[in-house]
Amino acid sequence: MRSSFIFTLSFIFVHAALAQEAAAPGGQAAPTWISFFPIIVIFAFMYFFMIRPQAKKQKEHQAMLEALKVGDQVITNSGFFGRVSEINEQSVNLTIATGVVVKILRSQIMGPQAQANPPAKT
Neighbours of 68 (CB within 10 A): 15
Residue ranges in the chain whose pLDDT is less than 50: 1-16, 19, 22-23, 117-120
Q: pLDDT at position 13, please? A: 46
Instruction: Give the amino acid at 56.
Output: K
The span from the CA of 87 to the CA of 58, in Å, is 21
The answer to the question of residue 99 being in a domain is yes
Residue 50: inside a domain, yes or no? yes
Query: How many domains does the chain fold into?
Result: 2
**Half-sphere exposure of residue 79: CA atoms within 13 angstroms, side-chain side:** 0
Q: What is the pLDDT of residue 4?
A: 47
C-alpha of 31 from chain center? 33
Rounded to two decimals, the pTM is: 0.60
> What's the length of the chain?
122
| Edge-to-edge order in the sheet of strand 81-87 | 100-105, 91-97, 81-87, 73-76, 109-112
Identify the pLDDT of residue 32.
80
Residues 16, 22: Cα–Cα separation, whole Å: 10
**Segments forming the whole domain that contains residue 89:** 69-112
| 117 domain residue, yes or no | no
pLDDT of residue 110: 93
* Residue 38 CB partners (closer than 8 Å, separation 6+): none
Residues 48 and 78 in one domain: no
- pLDDT at res. 65: 92
Are residues 82 and 59 part of one domain? no
